[in-house]
């Protein structure tokens, strides 16, 4: 159920202040140390950020998709690594459980996920299955009252801290593609689960991805999420939703960068006047603002449609495609408007330029969003 408008505005205001006062001052430190300070994680827990999307009966805030997107826009106004701290609990790490979990599974896991005590990860990508995510080769062999998991997942966000993985594995090797895949809730402490060291990456320092290996892991049959053979559908429903959240974050980052550009352009003087007076600079600001507004409108409209019960596979893919490409262009213009300063680390603009690159890759690359958009459009006849 939606929050009343006062409570919603209060929540958004609280998050905006938390971002401005607590997170923004730490951006450079987090980039340098590759770690979000524990005290900040504790404050995030206190604010309820780990449970934004978890139903209130399990201790979360139970936001609607539109409300979650409005909060995500605010969270986008700082380094994306901060959001990643609780991003998997809010999105891909919890939503399979929220949408397909049994009452027992939900009661067991969701309270810890909502409070942030339990960190969750979503483990779909594997060396052989990236964009072709239905080509899951991680094996789950039924054996008495358990499934035995063998295989490897790569680039798994928050795996170093996760206590619970949602893992997509093939239960029926006789069926190729999506049909033979099931989803499992796999606690990290089961024998045979091992997590590699965090990868070194282009940006978003402070957010970690690791390889997770399953070596003869006996997962109780009661940990299967949804019916056998339905795991790929679970994953796709989770991603449909996650794409809207990511779109909203892209909008927030774009709004942050536009504000930084406006402030810089007013202050920086060349040829005897602020560079904001030059219409070629204004053109870049206008392009960025227009695109950010368009992405926001598309994202929020699609979120409202989802809240109304509509299928948003097309809208979610379109929003993610447009918003992630948009923020790439906005970050590029931000470097340009800042001139040499845009390339120098101390100003933080080049860091955002690197950070936003990921949005076009994970939760489905831009090309995969295009494939989905075209497929859904042709299915609907236009």
Q: What are the residue numbers of the active site?
A: 363
Q: Which two tokens stand for residue 366?
A: 């831009």
One residue of 156, 181, 276, 300 binding ligand FAD per CB under 6 A: 156
Considering the rule CB under 6 A, would residue 374 count as an interface residue with ligand FAD? no
Task: Please state the closest distance from residue 360 (CB atom) to ligand FAD, in A.
Answer: 9
Rg (CA), the chain: 21
Is the separation of the CB atoms in 38 and 96 below 8 Å? Answer: no
Residue nearer to ligand FAD on the CB measure, 43 or 150: 150
Q: Which of these segments, 70-78, 124-132, 182-190, 331-339, binds ligand FAD (CB under 6 A)?
A: 124-132
Pairing verdict, β 164-170 and 146-157: unpaired
Q: Which of these segments, 9-17, 122-130, 178-186, 299-307, binds ligand FAD (CB under 6 A)?
A: 122-130
User: How many residues belong to the site for ligand FAD (CB under 6 A)?
Assistant: 21
Tell me which residue of 333, 321, 246 sits closest to 289, measured CA to CA.
Answer: 333
Task: Please state the closest distance from residue 35 (CB atom) to ligand FAD, in A.
Answer: 16
Is the separation of the CB atoms in 80 and 55 below 8 Å? Answer: no
Considering the rule CB under 6 A, would residue 157 count as an interface residue with ligand FAD? yes
Tell me which residue of 73, 43, 68 sits closest to 53, measured CA to CA.
Answer: 68
One residue of 95, 125, 171, 288 binding ligand FAD per CB under 6 A: 125
Binding map of ligand FAD across residues 223-242, x = CB under 6 A, - = no contact: --------------------
- Which residues, at least 6 apart from 22, have a Cβ–Cβ distance to it below 8 Å? 40, 43
Considering the rule CB under 6 A, would residue 244 count as an interface residue with ligand FAD? no
Is the separation of the CB atoms in 196 and 210 below 8 Å? Answer: yes
Tell me which residue of 42, 68, 73, 69 sits closest to 55, measured CA to CA.
Answer: 68
Is the separation of the CB atoms in 285 and 262 below 8 Å? Answer: yes
Task: Please state the closest distance from residue 261 (CB atom) to ligand FAD, in A.
Answer: 26
Residue nearer to ligand FAD on the CB measure, 130 or 196: 130
Considering the rule CB under 6 A, would residue 95 count as an interface residue with ligand FAD? no
Considering the rule CB under 6 A, would residue 193 count as an interface residue with ligand FAD? no
Considering the rule CB under 6 A, would residue 361 count as an interface residue with ligand FAD? yes
Considering the rule CB under 6 A, would residue 365 count as an interface residue with ligand FAD? yes
Considering the rule CB under 6 A, would residue 163 count as an interface residue with ligand FAD? no
Considering the rule CB under 6 A, would residue 362 count as an interface residue with ligand FAD? yes
Q: Which residue is nearest to ligand FAD (CB)?
A: 130
Tell me which residue of 248, 255, 196 sits closest to 53, measured CA to CA.
Answer: 248
Q: Which two tokens stand for residue 316?
A: 């979610």
Phi-psi region of 192 (alpha: psi -120 to 50; beta: other; left: phi over 0): left
Give dist(CA 187, CA 193) in Å, integer: 8
Q: Which two tokens stand for residue 144?
A: 């008495």
Considering the rule CB under 6 A, would residue 321 count as an interface residue with ligand FAD? no
Task: Please state the closest distance from residue 66 (CB atom) to ligand FAD, in A.
Answer: 24
C-alpha distances out from residue 265 to 237, 282, 292, 343, 348, Å: 43, 9, 19, 16, 16
- Which residues, at least 6 apart from 324, have a Cβ–Cβ distance to it below 8 Å? 246, 247, 250, 356, 359, 360, 366
Q: Which of these segments, 117-125, 174-182, 311-319, 346-354, binds ligand FAD (CB under 6 A)?
A: 117-125
Task: Please state the closest distance from residue 132 (CB atom) to ligand FAD, in A.
Answer: 6
Considering the rule CB under 6 A, would residue 130 count as an interface residue with ligand FAD? yes
Considering the rule CB under 6 A, would residue 124 count as an interface residue with ligand FAD? yes
One residue of 209, 303, 318, 327 binding ligand FAD per CB under 6 A: 209
Q: Which two tokens stand for residue 266?
A: 């007013």
Considering the rule CB under 6 A, would residue 79 count as an interface residue with ligand FAD? no
Binding interface with ligand FAD (CB under 6 A): 121-125, 130-131, 155-157, 201, 209, 358, 361-365, 367-368, 371
């Amino acid at each position: 159920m939606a929050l009343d408008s006062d409570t919603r505005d209060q929540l958004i205001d609280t998050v905006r202040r938390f971002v401005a006062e607590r997170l923004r001052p730490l951006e450079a430190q987090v980039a340098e140390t590759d770690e979000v300070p524990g005290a900040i994680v504790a404050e995030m827990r206190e604010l309820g950020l780990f449970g934004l999307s978890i139903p209130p009966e399990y201790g979360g805030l139970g936001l609607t998709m539109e409300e979650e997107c409005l909060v995500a826009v605010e969270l986008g106004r700082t380094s994306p690594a901060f959001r990643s701290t609780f991003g998997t609990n809010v999105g891909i790490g919890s939503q399979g459980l929220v949408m397909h979990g049994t009452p027992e599974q939900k009661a067991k896991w969701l309270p810890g996920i909502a409070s942030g005590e339990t960190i969750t990860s979503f483990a779909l990508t594997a060396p052989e299955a990236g964009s072709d995510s239905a080509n899951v080769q991680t094996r789950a062999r039924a054996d008495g009252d358990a499934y035995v998991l063998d295989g490897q997942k790569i680039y798994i966000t928050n795996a170093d801290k996760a206590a619970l993985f949602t893992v997509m594995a093939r239960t029926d090797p006789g069926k190729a593609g999506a049909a033979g895949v099931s989803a499992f809730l796999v606690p990290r402490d089961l024998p045979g689960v091992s997590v590699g060291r965090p990868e070194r990456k282009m940006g978003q320092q402070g957010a970690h991805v690791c390889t997770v290996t399953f070596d003869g892991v006996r997962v109780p049959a009661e940990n299967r999420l949804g019916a056998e053979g339905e795991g790929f559908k679970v994953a796709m429903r989770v991603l449909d939703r996650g794409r809207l959240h990511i779109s909203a974050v892209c909008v927030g980052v774009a709004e942050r960068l536009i504000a930084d550009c406006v402030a810089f352009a007013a202050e920086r003087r060349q040829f005897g006047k602020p560079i904001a007076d030059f219409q070629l600079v204004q053109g870049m600001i206008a392009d960025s603002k227009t695109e950010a507004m368009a992405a926001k409108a598309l994202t929020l409209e699609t979120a409202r449609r989802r809240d109304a019960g509509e299928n948003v596979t097309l809208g979610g893919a379109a929003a993610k495609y447009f918003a992630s490409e948009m923020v790439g262009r906005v970050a590029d213009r931000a470097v340009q408007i800042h001139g040499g300063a845009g390339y120098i680390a101390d100003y933080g603009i080049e860091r955002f330029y690197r950070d936003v690159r990921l949005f076009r890759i994970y939760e489905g690359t831009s090309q995969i969003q295009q494939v989905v958009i075209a497929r859904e459009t042709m299915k609907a006849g236009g």
